[in-house]
Amino acid sequence: MAHSDSDEGGVRIKRQKVKKTESDPRQNPYLAHMYADETPSGVADGRSAFAGFERHNTTAAQAEKVEDGETNPFTNEPFSSKYFSILKTRRDLPVHAQRDEFLRLYQQSQILVFVGETGSGKTTQIPQFVIWDDLPHTQRKLVACTQPRRVAAMSVAQRVAAEMDVKLGEEVGYSIRFEDMTGPKTFLKYMTDGMLLREAMHDHDLTRYSTIILDEAHERTMATDVLMGLLKEVVQRRPDLKIIIMSATLDAQKFQRYFNDAPLLAVPGRTHPVEIFYTPEPERDYVEAAVRTVLQIHATEPEGDILLFLTGEEEIEDTARKISLEADEMMREADAGPMKVYTLYGSLPPHMQQRIFEPAPAPRRPGGRPGRKCIISTNIAETSLTIDGIVYVVDPGFSKQNIYNPRIRVQSLLVSPISKASAQQRAGRAGRTRPGKCFRLYPESAFKKELIDQTYPEILRSNLSSTVLELKKLGIDDLVHFDLMDPPAPETLMRALEELNYLACLDDEGNLTPLGRLASEFPLDPALAVMLISSPEFYCSNEILSITALLSVPQVFVRPARERKRADEMKNLFAHPDGDHLTMLNVYHAFKSADAQADLRQWCHDHFLSLRSLQSADNVRSQLLRIMEREELEMISTPFEDKKYYENIRRALCAGFFMQVAKKESQGKSQYMTVKDNQNVLLHPSTVLAHDAEWVLYNEFVLTTKNYIRTVTAVKPEWLLDIAPAYYHIPSFENREIKSALLRAAERLSRKEKMRSDSGRRR
């Protein structure tokens, strides 16, 4: 057993050691793991620096005195010079002027609503103000600060680690899906709201935390809304827990009312002004107008980087190419500075998202026109982020939003006008480290009259089955009386309960079943989780796991506009006549072959596949595999030579997606009708399905001018009747054609079963 190098006499040490092992289980190596999260001796606990600090009774002056000192009380290391230079700018932030006022309110109340303009220092400073008063490290607790987006959680944690002069992942860390950057010493944790919700499933009272800060609450993500409802209950059970609700643009009164008339602190003023410009007339083509505006800024405005908001990956990548080409031409022909274009959207892996923080390019030659970076992003860059160097924001006024129609159970992403709050947040990305400009590509009258004040909460626009499953796992049984800020429509809630019941995640009384409990362990939609959990029964869990991973990442097939024919030929190399899921699986298997692995980049390029998507599928697959192993789900395959290899996979798909099935109509080519919801749909032109399958299962309903179903695989009605008898209860079907086809299938099925039992008897 290791002991400290003390200069005490050997005899005494020996005696002490014996005594300690007897009395102090901490010294027992077999019990040591129980104390693993205790502050190890020798590590700074800052007790001396915090002498005179009384928890929840400190002042700004007390904290500032230690902040201004020479030694970092959290690490016992001397403060670096960078620390002091950042400290100086921090002291100029608007929230700083109200540190004492903040502390008083924080100390007096359990819940506090905090509003401060974009860039005023909420996300970076408030958690630190809290740390110095809450002293979580002395209680073996943590302070959490949630963010709706991964990229924000990561970058803000990094900034605050620098501000506190500690190493990221030690005292200050972050936690996002599939990445935990925290350690045993962490007491300030930035995290996505979804991650905190996941933690709540296993720890209903969130006992690890002494203060929880819900940042960007105005975004009203599903996770934030559910967390708010949950925290409202937790604060009653835990009087020691403090909550702060934060945003630049929220309807403070509504939040105050919801949180039992919690007090409000509003911090006025910003660090740098942002000048707003509007167009005189509405723009007919916002993408074209955006390109024009970016190039004009590059040609005429002084040094400073550009942030352009567009709506989705494809649009962003297209526009990035256009702007790059044009900017290169300007550089060649008009001696403009170099411009580097970065793209940012949710499906990019975190390390790619971090590239937006790279510095702008240098001038082409000494003394030449300065370089610029231009970031083109979805609304994931709309809140929280400080990207040093951004001076110009271009805001066309649109974003993609989820819309859910419970009647036909279709969720779709539609390009929609943003809200005033969003526009304000977007403008707030400029003017953070110096004065900025925001170009809104719509008239001022449109801003005033046409934009709604706040974006509709996600909970009112989404399929709720995942959320309902989460709530059940959180121990909330009475969903109707669970206090959500904006309760969803009863029909949407009913639909979710019904879906979960068909998936056997909830029983007829609405209680969580063992399958439901298991499904909630997976960070997946319930249908996907159920498919995965059922897959060993179909002897294909290895394959279904790969398909699940592939369905969880962006499209693996690349189809550039100019090379469509070649891309389609390449896709056909992998095509399976029975459909797209099997085709994707073929791609994945080829991707894992030695041939492809020898040079992945080249192989993907040659086959018109997205290396990035395949790599993230690989990553998601291993994360999910870990959960499957933990839950002791068997990993098996049908031998590839077996003629049931693909059939088993198709059956397993039905186990999760039996509610997403369409039947071919007798009239009209590739016209299908979805079962039960009776929607007319067409097969998406991208499908490889080689024959006129009577019945298909689909992954996605795409709502454009026509209704398409995308990623489809041929299935048999007998399988559906067999796997999901409750859903395929024939008398409940209204459509006559579908009903009689099911009846015929039922007859075939019972004939077959009879034959089987007859032959069994004969033997």
Ligand X SMILES: Nc1ncnc2c1ncn2[C@@H]1O[C@H](COP(=O)(O)OP(=O)(O)OP(=O)(O)O)[C@@H](O)[C@H]1O
Of residues 46, 119, 136, 338, which one binds ligand X by CB under 6 A?
119
Cβ atoms 215, 145 nearer than 8 A: yes
Residue with tokens 């056997």: 504
The residue among 324 and 433 lying less far from ligand X, judged by its C-beta, is 433
CB of 116 to ligand X, least distance (A): 5
Which stretch in 31-39, 45-53, 80-88, 114-122 sits in contact with Mg ion by CB under 5 A? 114-122
Q: Which of 58, 98, 120, 123 binds Mg ion (CB under 5 A)?
A: 123
Q: Which stretch binds ligand X (CB under 6 A): 118-126, 305-313, 667-675, 688-696?
A: 118-126
The mark string for 158-177 relative to ligand X (x by CB under 6 A, - otherwise) is -x------------------
Distance, in Å, from the CA atom of 619 to the CA atom of 626, rounded to the nearest integer, reads: 11
Question: Which region, judged by CB under 6 A, interacts with ligand X, from 59-67, 119-127, 236-244, 393-401?
Answer: 119-127
Residue 427: name its binding partner from ligand X, Mg ion, none (Cβ under 5 to 8 Å by kind). Answer: none
* Nearest alpha-carbon partner for 36 in 21, 26, 22, 23: 26
356 or 742: whose CB is closer to ligand X? 356
- Tell me the three state secondary structure of residue 474: coil
Q: How near is the Cβ of 166 to ligand X at its closest, in Å? A: 15
Which residue, 120 or 210, has its beta carbon nearer to Mg ion? 120
Smallest gap from Cβ 99 to Mg ion, in A, equals 17
CA-CA distance, 441 to 710, in Å (whole number)? 34
Cβ neighbours of residue 736 closer than 8 Å, sequence gap 6 or more:
none
Q: Which of 93, 143, 161, 230 binds ligand X (CB under 6 A)?
A: 93
Shortest CB 63 distance to ligand X, Å: 17
Site for ligand X contains 116 (CB under 6 A): yes
Q: How far is the CB of 125 from ligand X (least distance, A)?
A: 6
Distance CA 640, CA 321 (A): 43
Select the binding partner of residue 674 from Mg ion, ligand X, none (C-beta < 5 to 8 A, by kind): none
Q: What angle do CA 508, 512, 518 make, to 5 degrees?
A: 130
Size of the site for ligand X (CB under 6 A): 20
In whole angstroms, give the CA distance from residue 425 to residue 431: 12
Gyration radius of the chain's alpha carbons: 29
- Contact between 517 and 544 (Cβ < 8 Å): no
- CB nearer to ligand X: pick between 124 and 293: 124
Give whichever of 213 and 506 is closer to ligand X, judged by the CB atom. Answer: 213
Q: Please, which residues have CB within 8 angstroms of residue 742's CB and are 6 or more apart in sequence? A: 717, 721, 728, 730, 733
Region of 115-123, 235-243, 447-455, 633-641 interacting with ligand X (CB under 6 A): 115-123
Taking Cα atoms as reference points, which of 309, 656, 680 lies closest to residue 503?
Answer: 656
Residue 314: CB partners within 8 Å, gap ≥ 6? none
Helices (H) and strands (E) in the chain, counts: 27, 21
Binding range to Mg ion, per CB under 5 A, among 82-90, 160-168, 384-392, 405-413: 384-392
**Quick one: angle between helices 465-473 and 490-502, nearest 10?**
80
Report the alpha-carbon distance of residue 546 to residue 581 in Å, rounded: 10
Report helix, strand or coil for 303. Answer: coil
- Stretches 121-129, 357-365, 525-533, 745-753: which one binds Mg ion (CB under 5 A)? 121-129
In 264-382, the DSSP E strands lie at: 264-267, 274-278, 305-309, 339-344, 372-377
From 171-179, 383-391, 489-497, 598-606, span contacting ligand X (CB under 6 A): 383-391
- Residue 118 contacts which entry, Mg ion, ligand X, none (Cβ below 5-8 A, type-dependent): ligand X
Dump strand ranges (E) for 655-762. 661-664, 671-674, 680-683, 695-703, 707-715
Q: Which is nearer to ligand X, 125 or 707 (CB)?
A: 125
CB nearer ligand X, residue 136 or residue 428: 428
Residue among 125 and 186 whose Cβ is closer to ligand X: 125
Given candidates 75, 98, 123, 455, which one binds ligand X under the rule CB under 6 A?
Answer: 123
x/- track of binding to ligand X for residues 38-77 (CB under 6 A): ----------------------------------------
Pick left, alpha or beta for residue 705 (phi over 0 → left; psi -120 to 50 → alpha; otherwise beta).
alpha
Beta carbon of residue 112, minimum distance to Mg ion (angstroms, whole number):
16
Query: Which is nearer to ligand X, 123 or 648 (by Cβ)?
Result: 123
Quote the CA–CA distance of 473 and 468 in Å, as a whole number: 9
Nearest approach in angstroms of CB 271 to ligand X is 5
Residue 358 CB neighbour total at 10 angstroms: 11
What residues are paired with 683 via a beta bridge?
A: 709
- What is the spatial distance between Cα 473 and Cα 486, in angstroms, rounded to a whole number? 21
Q: Are 171 and 45 in contact (CB under 8 A)?
A: no
In the shown chain, the binding pattern of residues 214 to 253 toward ligand X, with x for contact by CB under 6 A and - for none, equals: ----------------------------------x-----
Shortest distance (Å) from residue 194 CB to ligand X: 18
Please list, in sequence order, all residues whose beta carbon lies within 8 angstroms of the beta carbon of residue 547, skipping any fewer than 6 positions away. 581, 584, 585, 649, 653
Cα–Cα distances in angstroms (integers) from residue 360 to residues 8, 184, 356, 387, 484, in the given order: 59, 36, 9, 11, 44
Nearer to ligand X, 106 or 608 (CB): 106
Q: Is residue 388 at the binding interface for ligand X, with CB under 6 A as the rule?
A: yes
Does 384 sit near ligand X (CB under 6 A)? yes
Verify binding: residue 428, ligand X, rule CB under 6 A.
Answer: yes
Helices (H), 73-192: 81-90, 99-108, 122-134, 150-163
| Binder of ligand X out of 58, 118, 462, 492 (CB under 6 A) | 118
From ligand X, Mg ion, none, which one binds at residue 150 (CB under 5 to 8 Å depending on kind)?
Answer: none
Q: Given the DSSP bridges, would you call strands 179-181 and 242-247 parallel, antiparallel or unpaired?
A: unpaired
Piece of 428-436, 576-584, 686-694, 723-731 that binds ligand X (CB under 6 A): 428-436
Tell me which H or E stretch contains 630.
Answer: helix 611-630
Give yes or no for a contact between 650 and 582, defined as CB atoms under 8 angstroms apart: yes
Q: How far is the CB of 97 from ligand X (least distance, A)?
A: 13
Closer CB to ligand X, residue 44 or residue 157? 157
Identify the residue among 58, 72, 175, 271 touching ligand X (CB under 6 A): 271
Residue type, 656: G
Q: Give dist(CA 502, CA 504) in Å, integer.
A: 5
Report the residue number, 122 or 472, with the smaller CB distance to Mg ion. Answer: 122
> Is position 120 an interface residue for ligand X (rule: CB under 6 A)?
yes
Which x/- pattern, by CB under 6 A, does the window 604-643 give for ligand X? Answer: ----------------------------------------
Residue 586: CB atoms within 10 A of its CB come to 16
Sign of the C-alpha dihedral computed for residues 105, 453, 410 and 344 taken in this order = negative
| Selection from 666, 680, 669 nearest residue 709 by Cα | 680
Q: Which residue is nearest to Mg ion (CB)?
A: 123
Instruction: State the Cα torsion 76-78-80-81 to the nearest 10°.
Output: 150
377 touching ligand X, by CB under 6 A: no
- For ligand X, the binding residue among 72, 75, 98, 124 (CB under 6 A) is 124
Q: Which of 432, 472, 495, 716 binds ligand X (CB under 6 A)?
A: 432
Interface with Mg ion includes 384 (CB under 5 A)?
yes
Piece of the chain touching ligand X by CB under 6 A; list 121-129, 253-261, 296-304, 453-461: 121-129
Does 379 participate in binding ligand X (rule CB under 6 A)? no
Maximal C-alpha separation, the chain: 97
**Contact residues: Mg ion, CB under 5 A:** 122-123, 384
Q: Which residues bind ligand X (CB under 6 A)?
A: 93, 116, 118-125, 159, 248, 271, 383-384, 386, 388, 428, 432-433
